[in-house]
Structure 1
Amino acid sequence: MSALISQTCLSEDSNEEKRGNGLIYAEPRYRTVTRLLSWNVSFIDVVLITSPNGMLGLPFLTRKKGFTAKVYATKAASRIGQLMMEDLVYMHKEFRQFYGPESDEPIWMKWDRLEMLPLELKKTVFGADGTDFGCWMPLYSAADVKACMLKVKSLNYAEEICYNGIVIAKPLPSGLEIGSCNWRINGPRGNIAYISNFSSLNALEQVGNDEDRSGLANYLSNSSSADVNSETRSALLSTDEYLEEIDKLDFICSCSMDSIKAGGSILIPTGRLGIILQLLERFELHLTSENMKVPIFVISSVAEELMTFTSIIPEWLGQQCQDRLYSEKPSLFTHTEMLKDGRLYLFPAIHSVELLKIWQEPCIVFCPHWSLRLGPVTHLLRRWRGDQNSLLVIEEGVDANLVLLPFKPIAMKVLQCSFLSGMQLKKSLLLMKILQPKHVLFPEIFRRCVDTLKVSLSSSFYQENETLHIPHTEDSSRLHIDMDLARQIKYTKFEEQNVDISRLKGKLTVEHGRYKAVR
């Protein structure tokens, strides 16, 4: 469901509009999938959520008339997703309190105003093929969130659910974020594994240079699962990606230390709890090594409750942290000690009285929203944008020039980087070679890479707003026959076809994902 929200929010403030820079003065809207309004949602039977972020687009779907599908998510994903949605609704409420409400048909959506938009913004509004204009929707309400959550069934990890007696689904921890999971789906005509722990950034670059690609292509084409050697298995278990990620985080911290020494503050707009926790660990190490005492603030209406999940959901932890959790050691995470020692502070809003009492600069601030159009980040950007010693850290995938337009001229430093978001393609292909699935579905973004590597697996490619028919992985279905009924079977053998057949009279049922014949 994460595809229901694009990485573009449309908004702007009145001062910027008066400058004539072409930005839109309106409450942010969200791009849903193409033709969502024309979907017949009554045809949807089941919705499986893989991560808390995947919850963010769910109310756009569940509020549609005729939606009766079953929605399943892990308990942690369900609760954290709800908190994230409520936080987003709160930020919109704050926006309307500051700028005032807008009409159902905003002025910027009139054709004469659209013609005045810069080319870059027109591409965002209309999309590459010009079909996205009708996809922009206002955010859902608090009532929509509440109604949505009533339709979500929360599951424990490894808890099975059976839909209609035919399909059995089970969430298994993916290790990517708190509450994230992979899904195993079993049915009478085949089994499906949905892997959510997957990185889609720079797919072709993930497999290295031309020589690396050639070697990997040769291995994938000529070896079987039995040929997998210890070196390949070691590659699958390698922590190189994690170490590269740590180096990246250390680089962010190093740049931050330089800014702090010069008297500047650090602003990191993100709502990804996993990234926040990792950066807190690295910041603590760097601050200690530099013998610096700088306050760190996490400002969000749901910050405190989000942090509580770090110590009660063990499935997302690595083995070392799990051992520490079960041993009840007090210092499971660095941030828990930082909270006790007064080095880390959690506040629901930037105008909190307690925050104003202890506020000091330079400081490090984590807060929403990544779009730089909502929440505490807008206030802090206006405060620090003229400070050349301050640093703004934003994720790749966002057009930095576009999102920073309302704050120009901007003197503060901007560091844009990507964070590890799952298993990389090279490792996943090696895994596929071992597992030997009968069919693999890849995102369309991987087509060029898979074609380049000449992957011999039977595969299809899926993309947004397209229905893909998955071939049956089994030629026939298994039938479980009741013992009393089985005793009545008398086989007739056909020698030429080498087949035994029998006529059987009974009742055919589907139970727990299996066909069953009973009297």
Structure 2
Amino acid sequence: MLNELCSHVGMVVGGGGDALIPCLSSGLVYDLIDFIRNYLNTINLQSTNLYFVSPVANHSLAYSNISSEWLCSNKQQRAFVAEAPFSHQSMVKTKQLFLFDGVDKDFANTLLNNRANPCVIFCGHPCMRFGDILHLIKIMSAGAKNALISIDGDLTSFDKLVSPFLTPDTKMRFVNCPIDLKLKRSEIVQLLKEIAPRKLAISRQVQSSIDTKSIKNSVGQIVVLEAGVPSHIQNNKRKFEQAHIMPDLAKQITPRQVKGCHVSRVVGCLEARDGDYRLTKRTKNTSLEDTPGELFGDQIKIDLVVRALQSQGYEVNTVPLDNDRFGTYQIDIPMIDSRIIFSPDRTNVEAPNSELRKHLKTTLMKNYVVL
């Protein structure tokens, strides 16, 4: 595919024309610049200039040099020995590659000053429906020696893609040279055998194109994705998610020190959007009664609970249950055959019926310092 592309570029440039290649600002363009530059040098067209037009041209090429983990083994080896995996920077220094933010005055002046030499222009977008590519097509369409070479392998119809530009005044040629970056069936199977994922999410199209029996021993759960149908993939390892507390809610938090730790009760609204979780301030007042779940609090004062029960007319006996465990007590209430058992990790209320148990629980909570 790349050889065919270089052949088309060589014929256009060798004939004195300019080649326009619609492409994205990252990914394939990194290899295209290197590959076409080397090819032009081998056919004695070193004077051909390369132009990369994109608002992120500089940042994109700089990023390509620090992402060695995504490159092939040869380029990774260059990164390990402190060499640039691509030759973009050296081409920029020798003025074989020019970077522009857009089709602006600087681009026009550079193009005009170098009209003696043919050029290859990389610009987006591949769909040719928006961006600077539209301006370049208009500028170059009058040249019969010029050519636009489409490399998008995902296009359904090349004729529909270029039909808006085929006017009587258009003399530029339109060439379809798709570069398919999708993995082959054998490559997909080999990749899955190497990484052996526990869970695999694939489309119905990919599932039908590969033999799932060949990867049965390498892949755990296979989830088939359907268009427009929600899919659920459970992650057993992740039991907690990180949430960000918004400033308006953070201002209301007043931590208290309990047993050497600072704790506080937080009541808010949890928002989940695009994998990000945020706790925001609630719009309505929230009281203790309508707040579900456990509450953090200070240590229970046993004497306060005893006084509260005595004020209600109950005879109360306080008995330490375990002298070796600090904070383990039992409050016996013989009149109603009930007891409250305190321990460092929990508090139990035992009563003959639910009404008494609820009453004792209410008394207990009134003497419990809630944060």
1:425 lines up with 2:185 in the alignment: yes
Give the SS at the match of 1:397: coil
The answer as to whether partners of 1:385 and 1:411 remain within 8 angstroms in 2 is yes
**Cα separation, 2, equivalents of 1:425 and 1:432:** 11
Counterpart of 1:449 (choices 206, 209, 213) is 209
Q: Indicate the structure whose relative CO is greater, using CA pairs within 8 Å and at least 6 residues apart.
A: 1
Aligned to 1:345: 98
Change (3 A) 1:473 1:351: closer
Q: Which amino acid is 1:287 matched to?
A: L
1:294 to 2:48 alignment: yes
**Cα distance per residue 1:445-470 (max 9 Å; x no partner):** 1233246x765736442123211244
Q: Find the counterpart in structure 1 of residue 160 from structure 2.
A: 402
SS in structure 1 of the partner of residue 55 of structure 2:
coil
Deviation track 1:95-136 (CA, whole Å, cap 9, x = no partner) reads: xxxxxxxxxxxxxxxxxxxxxxxxxxxxxxxxxxxxxxxxxx
List, as ranges, runs of 4+ consecutive aligned residues in structure 1 with deviation greater than 4 Å: 433-439, 453-456, 470-474
CA shift digits 1:376-434 (9 cap, x unpaired): 21122122234343221221222322222221134433333443535433222234456
Displacement of 1:281: 1.2
CA distance in 2, matches of 1:389, 1:300: 24
SS of equivalent to 1:273: coil
Match of 1:373 in 2: 129
Q: Which residue of 2 aligns with 1:393?
A: 149
Task: Please give the per-residue CA displacement for 1:187-222, whole angstroms capped at 9, x wherever unaligned.
Answer: xxxxxxxxxxxxxxxxxxxxxxxxxxxxxxxxxxxx
Checking the alignment, whether the CA contact within 8 Å between 2:148 and 2:175 is kept in structure 1 is yes
Is the Cα contact below 8 Å between 2:153 and 2:181 reproduced in 1? Answer: no
2:231 to 468, 475, 480: 468
Q: Which residue of 1 aligns with 2:242?
A: none
Structure 1 distance, partners of 2:103, 2:178, is 27
Aligned residues of 2:61 and 2:88 also touching (Cα < 8 A): no
CA distance 1:319–1:440, shift in 2 (3 Å): closer
Q: Is the 8 A contact 1:438 1:473 kept in 2?
A: no
Deviation per CA, 1:260-282, whole angstroms, max 9, x where unpaired?
12222111111142211211111
Q: Does 1:303 find its partner at 2:57?
A: yes
User: Superposition pairs for residues 50-449 of structure 1, below 5 Å?
Assistant: 248-292=1-45, 293-329=47-83, 332-353=85-106, 355-359=108-112, 360-361=114-115, 362-394=118-150, 395-398=152-155, 399-409=157-167, 410-421=170-181, 423-433=183-193, 440-449=200-209
> Is the 1:301–1:349 Cα contact (8 Å) retained in structure 2?
yes
Where in structure 2 are there 5+ consecutive unaligned residues? 240-343, 347-371
CA distance in 2, matches of 1:322, 1:269: 27
CA RMSD, aligned part only?
Answer: 3.1
Q: Distance in 2 between matches of 1:444 and 1:422?
A: 16
Partner of 1:387, secondary structure, is coil
Deviation at 1:305, TM superposition (A): 1.8
Unaligned runs of 5+ in 1: 1-247, 478-504, 508-519
Q: Report the 3-state secondary structure (helix = DSSP H, G, I; strand = E; otherwise coil) of the residue aligned with 2:179.
A: coil
Provide the TM-score with structure 2 as the length reference: 0.54
**Distance of 2:90 and 2:23 partners within structure 1:** 22
Aligned-partner Cα distance in 2 for 1:397–1:319:
27
User: Is the alpha carbon distance of 1:386 and 1:308 closer, same or farther for their aligned partners in structure 2, counting shifts above 3 Å?
Assistant: same
Residues of 1 paired with 2:81 and 2:195: CA distance?
35
Give aligned-pair identity as a percent. Answer: 21
Q: In the TM superposition, what are the counterparts of 1:456-495 in structure 2 within 5 Å?
A: 457=216, 459-470=222-233
1-structure distance, mates of 2:70, 2:91: 21
Structure 2: distance between partners of 1:262 and 1:472: 58
Q: Does the Cα contact within 8 Å between 1:263 and 1:389 map onto a contact in 2?
A: yes
* Shift in alpha-carbon separation, 1:431–1:456, aligned structure 2, 3 A: closer
Give, in angstroms, the shift of residue 346 of structure 1: 0.5
Indicate if the aligned counterparts of 1:347 and 1:355 stay in contact, CA closer than 8 A.
no
Partners of 2:54 and 2:4 lie apart in 1 by 25
User: What is the CA–CA distance in structure 2 between the aligned matches of 1:314 and 1:438, rounded to whole Å?
Assistant: 26
Q: Higher helix share goes to which structure? A: 1
Maintained 8 Å contact 2:185/2:210: no
Separation in structure 2 between the aligned mates of residue 333 and residue 428 of structure 1, nearest angstrom: 27
Take 2:345 and 2:190, find their aligned partners in 1: how far apart are those partners?
46
Separation of aligned partners in 2, 1:448 and 1:332: 37
Task: Give the whole-Å Cα distance in 2 for the aligned partners of 1:419 and 1:353.
Answer: 31
Residue 351 of structure 2 corresponds to none
Aligned runs of 1:500-519 on 2, under 5 Å?
Answer: none
TM-score by length of 1: 0.39
TM-aligned CA distance change 1:440 to 1:311, over 3 Å: closer
